[in-house]
Amino acid sequence: MSKKLTKTGNSMAVILDRPLLDQTGIDETTPLEISTDGDVIVISPVRDAASRRRLRKAVDEIHELYAGAFRRLAE
């Protein structure tokens, strides 16, 4: 999907299509987190603390199981 920025007052906006919002479960009341690595802009719904803990636990378990494979792949 390709989009262009739209001027809104002194700012710029990206208009997101309803199917995309429906697919991600985002609506006008959803708090969003916006981050960048200096090249890419990432917009995602703010996750609650419980979701972040579950994700962190899953990442830690995967790392523990596959750390050796990850290390070899990185070489």
Quick: pLDDT tens for 1-21.
899 999 999 999 999 999 999
Number of residues that this document lists for the chain:
75
Q: Which two tokens stand for residue 32?
A: 């969003």
This prediction has a pTM of 0.54
Give the model's pLDDT for residue 12.
Answer: 96
Give the model's pLDDT for residue 51.
Answer: 78
How many other C-beta atoms lie within 10 A of the C-beta of residue 30?
A: 12
Quick: pLDDT tens for 24-58.
889 999 999 999 999 999 998 887 778 778 888 99
Give the model's pLDDT for residue 50.
Answer: 81
